[in-house]
Amino acid sequence: MPSDQEYRKPNNKLADWRDSCLHSSFAFYLFLFRCLIYFRAKMNRLLRIFLIVVLLALSFMLAVWLNNDHSYTHGHRYAELSIVAGMIPEEQKQSIISKFNGSSPLPPCPPTPPGLEGPLRIEFEWSRSMSDVRNSSRENLQEGGRYKPLDCIAQHKVAVIIPYRNRKDHLKHWLYYLHPILKRQQVDYGVYVINQHGEGTFNRAKLLNVGYVESLKEYAYDCFVFSDVDLVPMDDRNLYRCHGEPRHMAVAMDKFGFQMPYKNYFGGVVALSRVQYMRINGFPNNYWGWGAEDDDMHKRITLKGMAVSRPDSRLGMYKMVRHLRDTHNEVNPQNPGQLHNTAKTMNSDGINSLIYSLIKIEKDELYTMIDVDIHAPN
């Protein structure tokens, strides 16, 4: 990005040229005025009239120029705004732009979004195409699945992070429902699909750590919602935002009869603020295959003196896209045994020990796909 000085340089040249012309015009104006005074006795009446007309014309031109200079100043200020736009808080930016536009600044979005619908009818229609999803969801979306409310300033900057491999149909349903829900919730959000490259053993938790790191390279998110691709909320009042404590959102899945499978369950969809996430050193990296990484997260939270918050079972209902167990994501019988060592390993196994190789990043209009090699065992 060009420096502030590089942006200013063309404007300074224009300003110097304008000032030089202005000074020269004043000098010429004074020269004619002195000629009129000193040589008036030697001038005939016609020449004196001509000089007076010239002086009046110059006076008018200078007045017009100074007036136009006032307009230029506003334009210059707009140019300066574009330079510093990325360095000031969103609230101040909107306020400054609104002042120059002559409009009122955008208000902060209310704590309870006004457009929520409540309970939703969720149907996974297999005839639904990705084209259908794009047509229904693309309105006001920015490249990479980014969105900001148009009528207020969002109070929550949320990265929604999805661990992924070979789940196109599930992703299609998730995008179809979640984009409209998140828009109604007035969230400043981005959707990041973290694809595990290759056919090695799947590692959900490590992919979530990758999503945390990569999303922060793009935007200053302050909240992270980690969601399985096969879970869709059945009530849009279950807000995708962070709270004072780590949030378990998927508390009543249809898979479990709309009940918690056990007391300390922390799977499916969870939300952590940046501070909460770093306090527990993120997710563990050493849970290969299916199982126990979410229990490890619950232990990390409690070991750091935090509690898990949850919506009630009515708001926290989720519908799961049914599917068979993925190849290379079979239940790993060794994973539960690691839970006995969480207190010893959590400070060394997590975001501070994350190692991966970035393959590529693709910007779809509905999401950002991040393809990574997490060095999985075969």
Pairing of strands 368-373, 188-196: parallel
320 catalytically annotated: yes
Residues 6+ apart with CB under 8 A from 180: 136, 137
Report which residue type is found at 109. C
**CA–CA gap between residue 274 and residue 89 (Å, rounded):** 18
Give the per-residue pLDDT at 356: 97
Average pLDDT score over the chain = 84
| Residue 230 designated active-site | yes
Query: From the candidates 45, 70, 121, 325, which is the catalytic residue?
Result: 325
Per the residue annotation, which of 235, 294, 295, 296 is the catalytic one? 294
293 catalytically annotated: yes
Rg, C-alpha atoms of the chain: 31
pLDDT of residue 64: 61
Q: Which of 23, 323, 340, 375 is catalytic?
A: 323
Instruction: State yes or no: pLDDT of 287 exceeds 90.
Output: yes
Active site residue 325: yes
| Highest mean predicted confidence (pLDDT) among 10-19, 64-73, 92-101, 137-146 | 137-146
The larger pLDDT score, comparing residue 70 to residue 253, is at 253
Q: Percent of the chain having pLDDT more than 90?
A: 63
Residue 127 CA from chain centroid, whole number? 31
Residues 6+ apart with CB under 8 A from 171: 162, 164, 193, 229, 367
Per residue in 201-249, pLDDT (tens digit) is 999 999 999 999 999 999 999 999 999 999 999 999 999 999 999 999 9
d(CA 245, CA 254): 25
Question: Do 375 and 356 form a contact (C-beta atoms < 8 A)?
Answer: yes
> According to DSSP H, which parts of the chain are helical?
4-38, 45-84, 90-101, 130-137, 168-184, 204-216, 274-279, 293-303, 335-338, 342-345
State the amino acid at position 52 in one-letter form.
Answer: I
What pTM value is reported for the model?
0.73
List Cβ neighbours of 350 (8 Å cut-off, separation of 6 or more). 209, 280, 281, 282, 283, 284, 285
3-state secondary structure of 170: helix
With 50 as the cut, is the pLDDT of residue 9 above it? Answer: no
Asked about 128 being catalytic, the answer comes back as no
Kindly name the residue from 214, 236, 293, 296 that is annotated as catalytic: 293
- Summarised one tens digit per residue, pLDDT across range 328-341 is 667 788 888 889 99
Catalytic residue among 234, 253, 317, 320: 320
Confidence band, pLDDT 50/70/90 cuts, at residue 78: very low
Give the pLDDT of residue 80: 42
- Of 176, 196, 237, the closest CA to residue 367 belongs to 176
Helix (H) or strand (E) run with residue 192 in it: strand 188-196
> CA–CA separation, 272 vs 161, rounded Å?
11
* Per-residue confidence band for 56, with pLDDT thresholds at 50, 70 and 90: confident
C-alpha–C-alpha distance, residues 186 and 241, integer Å = 10
Catalytic entry in 165, 167, 188, 228 = 228
pLDDT the model gives residue 331: 74
- Please say if 364 is a catalytic residue: no
**List 230, 235, 295, 296, catalytic entry:** 230
Mean pLDDT of 73-90: 45
Alpha carbon dihedral 153, 154, 155, 159, in 10-degree steps, equals: -150
Q: How far is CA 169 from the centre of its chain?
A: 25
Q: Which of 143, 129, 102, 242 is nearest to 185 (CA)?
A: 242
Place of tokens 């008018």: 60
